[in-house]
Amino acid sequence: MKKAFVGAVAASLIMASAAWGGVGGGDITFSVKGAGNVVYSHDSHVTKSGQKCSDCHYKIFRMVKLQKQATMADMQNGRSCGACHNGQKAFAVTANCNKCHR
């Protein structure tokens, strides 16, 4: 009985780790009045750009529920998305509004 329980727990953990094996966080939608919402994709920033979660968390961003929404002025001054989207590391936040706002 004990072996069956341990086996069931181990199988559950293996299946859960496979489900969480992808990039965590998913897509996050930021509602922006008058400029169109911004959808942040963890997949494109981590998997496609080769960044690590720790590149942003918790240096630039806290968890979404605790994060204060940044203004364009904040970003142009190198905070929030502007820490990377500065025209050198990645396209500038002022480059093309439609790249982020939809």
Question: Which structural domains are found in the chain, ordered by start?
Answer: 23-99 (3.90.10.10)
Q: Which strand (E) or helix (H) includes residue 6?
A: helix 2-19
Alpha-carbon gap, residue 80 to 72, rounded angstroms? 9
pLDDT tens digits for range 35-79: 999 999 999 898 888 888 888 888 888 766 666 788 999 999 999
pLDDT tens digits for range 6-32: 444 444 444 443 344 456 788 989 899
The pTM score is 0.69
In our burial notation (b when 16+ CB lie closer than 10 A, e otherwise), range 20-45 reads: eeeeebeeeeeeeeeeeebebebeeb
